[in-house]
Amino acid sequence: MSDASIASRASDWLSLAAAPTFALAALFTGLSGPQDLLCSSSHASPMSGMTAMYLLMAAFHSPPWLRRLSR
Average pLDDT, integer, range 45-70: 87
Considering only residues 64 and 32, tell me which one the structure prediction assigns the higher pLDDT.
64
Measured CA to CA, the distance from residue 23 to residue 18 in angstroms comes to 9
Query: Alpha-carbon distance 60 to 22, whole Å?
Result: 10
* The pLDDT value given to residue 39: 56
pTM: 0.70
Give dist(CA 62, CA 59) in Å, integer. 5
If you average pLDDT over every residue of the chain, what do you get?
82
Instruction: Give the residue from 47, 64, 45, 65 showing the smallest Cα distance to 55.
Output: 47
Query: Do 26 and 55 meet the contact criterion of CB atoms below 8 Å apart?
Result: yes
- Mean pLDDT, to the nearest integer, of 42-58? 77
pLDDT at 37: 56
Which segments of the chain are extended strands (E)?
A: none
